[in-house]
């Protein structure tokens, strides 16, 4: 087991049984008389996802004093929403691989995958309505709408080498941070904590989500293709200009790096020698370090919000999660 995977397994050990229950709940609710649905559901389940979002919900619920089964159900709802987003994203990005395996659309085609994503979205809301908790359903609907808005906004900025840092962070907030924040907030709502503590959990998850996405973007430049599960440089070749590149282009708006980035966006490809030159420029202009510092800043912001709660093993686990996010290699 790789170092980061081992660290995550240790971190999630107190909720391992609950995460296994979430997996069973997910599998149970992708059963259908249409055989293809559970078949694809099993394929997705065995693709090695980290389950960080459900884990945040489960640990936040425990921190809030909740020990009932509804946390498992809502964690499964979150996994349905996240999975629906991933299968649609892969079509939009024309990504051949997801976590080192053929993406769903690469194996079953776009038509089936679009409908499967729709199925997962509807199933998530049907599951959420199992209990009479309209406040939770409203929160989940709001988070899902923001994610879709983020995807649409990202598409309007796709291929734009002049995207600003503010515009980029707006995409991150919508596509990633709101779901992380919602997961933590749901845990607090299940535990019936005060409004102040509920908002503290939301802010914890929100800032954790931003740190997570910045690191995810960094791995496109610093990661190992086998570990990351997709070709390095794929974000740029899909027309996505992320934080390290935004910083670099600000420092070198009309130099070699700018030409490489704009050529890669235009051609949706990049030669190995150009990629090597781009990575050198990122290091020379401290653009990798800049993005790392921003991720670390959001990780620290996340931690600070947890001090609204007294010390406990659950708080310790949530405090350790931002450090894992900063150190992950996949």
Beta partners for residue 98, in sequence order: 101
pLDDT of residue 1: 39
Give the alpha-carbon dihedral of 37, 116, 51, 106, to 10 degrees: 100
- Can you identify the CATH homologous superfamily of domain 3-327? Farnesyl Diphosphate Synthase (1.10.600.10)
pLDDT of residue 173: 99
User: 104 CB contacts (<8 Å, ≥6 apart)?
Assistant: 40, 43, 44, 87, 90, 98, 112, 113, 116
Q: Six-digit token pair at 218?
A: 């960094």
Q: How far apart are CA 15 and CA 9, in angstroms?
A: 10
pLDDT of residue 29: 94
Q: E strands of the chain, at which residues?
A: 97-98, 101-102
Query: How many CB atoms lie under 10 A from the CB of residue 36?
Result: 12
pTM: 0.95
- List the chain pLDDT tens, one digit each, 330 residues: 356 666 888 999 999 999 999 999 999 999 999 999 999 999 999 887 889 999 999 999 999 999 999 999 999 999 999 999 999 999 999 889 888 899 999 999 999 999 999 999 999 999 999 987 899 999 999 999 999 999 999 999 999 999 999 999 999 999 999 999 999 999 999 999 999 999 999 999 999 999 999 999 999 999 887 767 678 899 999 999 999 999 999 998 778 999 999 999 999 999 999 999 999 999 999 999 999 999 999 999 999 999 999 999 999 999 999 999 999 887
Tokens 């009309």 locate to 254
CA atoms within 13 A on the CB side of 170: 12
User: 88 CB contacts (<8 Å, ≥6 apart)?
Assistant: 113, 114, 117, 151
pLDDT of residue 48: 75
Q: How far apart are CA 10 and CA 107, in angstroms?
A: 33
Q: Residue 156 in 3-state DSSP?
A: helix
pLDDT of residue 194: 99
């Amino acid at each position: 087991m790789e170092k980061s995977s081992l660290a995550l397994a240790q971190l999630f050990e107190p909720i391992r049984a609950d995460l296994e229950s979430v997996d069973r709940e997910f599998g149970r609710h992708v059963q259908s008389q249409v055989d293809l649905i559970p078949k694809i559901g099993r394929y997705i389940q065995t693709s090695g996802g980290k389950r960080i979002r459900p884990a945040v919900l489960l640990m936040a619920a425990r921190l809030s004093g909740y020990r009932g089964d509804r946390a498992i159900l809502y964690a499964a709802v979150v996994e349905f929403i996240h999975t629906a987003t991933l299968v649609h994203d892969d079509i939009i990005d024309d990504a051949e691989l997801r976590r080192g395996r053929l993406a769903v659309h690469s194996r079953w085609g776009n038509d089936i995958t679009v409908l499967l994503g729709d199925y997962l979205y509807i199933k998530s809301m049907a599951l959420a309505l199992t209990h009479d908790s309209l406040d939770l359903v409203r929160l989940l609907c709001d988070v899902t709408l923001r994610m879709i808005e983020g995807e649409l906004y990202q598409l309007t900025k796709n291929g734009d080498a002049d995207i600003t840092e503010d515009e980029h962070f707006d995409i991150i907030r919508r596509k990633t941070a709101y779901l992380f924040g919602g997961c933590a907030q749901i845990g607090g709502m299940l535990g019936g904590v005060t409004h102040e503590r509920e908002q503290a959990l939301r802010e914890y998850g929100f800032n954790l989500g931003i740190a997570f996405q910045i690191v995810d973007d960094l791995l496109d430049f610093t990661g190992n293709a086998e570990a990351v599960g997709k070709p390095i440089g794929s974000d740029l070749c899909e027309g996505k200009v992320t934080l390290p590149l935004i910083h670099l282009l600000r420092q070198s708006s009309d130099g070699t790096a700018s030409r490489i980035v704009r050529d890669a966006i235009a051609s949706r490809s990049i030669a190995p020698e150009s990629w090597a030159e781009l990575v050198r420029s990122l290091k020379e202009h401290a653009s990798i370090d800049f993005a790392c510092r921003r991720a670390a800043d959001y990780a620290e912001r996340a931690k600070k919000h947890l001090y609204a709660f007294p010390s406990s093993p659950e708080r310790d686990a949530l405090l350790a999660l931002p450090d894992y996010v900063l150190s992950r290699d996949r």
